[in-house]
Amino acid sequence: MNRLIFLLLITLLSAGCQTLPPEVVANRKAKTLTPEQLVTERAKARWDALIAGDIEKSYTYLSEGYRIGMPLASYSAKRSQDPFKIISVYIREVNCQDVEVCNVSIALTIEATMQTVGKKQFPSILDEAWLKQGDSWFHVPK
């Protein structure tokens, strides 16, 4: 009988831990990671969305000010005109000058289609600015 009560108690406790609301989990994670780690995760997730062609998801990583001036439809149209295809992304370095602004250095491999030589891949380095707004970090396009 004691064993049954013990197993029931363990089951109830573990079930409660598994059903935490996503915002609670994100808040706990944000408190344990450094700004550099949080920005690295968000920058990588943004670029992964772009590589996958998920424009709506990539749009959610943009700063509020940018989104006010660039509605999703305009952003989507702009992204669809990119002459390059992003093949891979590597977050090289994240430097946070203070608790609200970080610079991210990104290494990209891009592919361009040229009339004379066909498809060609090129390495590229890109710098991005990320801004803390509320409890999260957002990309501020230049």
DSSP per residue, 75-101: HHHHHHT-SEEEEEEEEEEEEESSSSE
pTM greater than 0.95 (yes/no): no
Per-residue pLDDT at 29: 55
- pLDDT, one tens digit per residue, over 92-127 is 999 998 889 999 999 999 998 888 888 899 999 999
Q: Would you state the structure tokens that stand for residue 12, as one six-digit string?
A: 């109830």
7: pLDDT strictly greater than 60? no
Map out the domains of the chain as residue ranges. Answer: 33-140
Cβ atoms within 10 Å of 111's Cβ, excluding its own: 13
1: pLDDT strictly greater than 90? no
DSSP code of residue 115: T
Q: Which CATH code for domain 33-140? A: 3.10.450.50
101/11 Cα distance (integer angstroms): 43
Q: What is the length of the chain?
A: 142
- pLDDT, one tens digit per residue, over 13-70 is 444 445 544 444 455 555 689 999 999 999 999 999 999 999 999 999 999 999 999 9
